[in-house]
Amino acid sequence: MNSGRCAACRYLRRRCAPDCIFSPYFPSNNPQRFVSVHRIYGASNVGKLLQQLPTHLRAEAADSLYFEAQCRVEDPIYGCVGLVFLLQQQIHDAESQLAKTLAEVAVLKSHAKHPQAQQFEAESDFNNLLQKQLDNVANLSFSNQATSGFM
34 lies in the site for Zn ion, by CB under 5 A: no
6 lies in the site for Zn ion, by CB under 5 A: yes
* Smallest gap from residue 28 Cβ to Zn ion (A): 9
130 lies in the site for Zn ion, by CB under 5 A: no
Q: What distance in Å separates the CA atoms of residue 71 and residue 43, rounded to the nearest whole number? A: 18
Q: Which is nearer to Zn ion, 63 or 93 (CB)?
A: 63
x/- letters, 100..129, toward Zn ion (CB under 5 A): ------------------------------
CA distances from 40 to 10, 50, 77 (A): 18, 15, 13
In this chain, which of 1, 3, 19, 20 binds Zn ion, going by CB under 5 A? 20
12 lies in the site for Zn ion, by CB under 5 A: no
Size of the site for Zn ion (CB under 5 A): 6
Q: What distance in Å separates the CA atoms of residue 139 and residue 146, rounded to the nearest whole number? A: 10
Who contacts 58 (Cβ-Cβ below 8 Å, separation ≥6)?
Answer: 24, 25, 50
* Smallest gap from residue 33 Cβ to Zn ion (A): 13
* Smallest gap from residue 53 Cβ to Zn ion (A): 17
Note the residues at the interface with Zn ion (CB under 5 A): 6, 9, 16, 20, 22-23
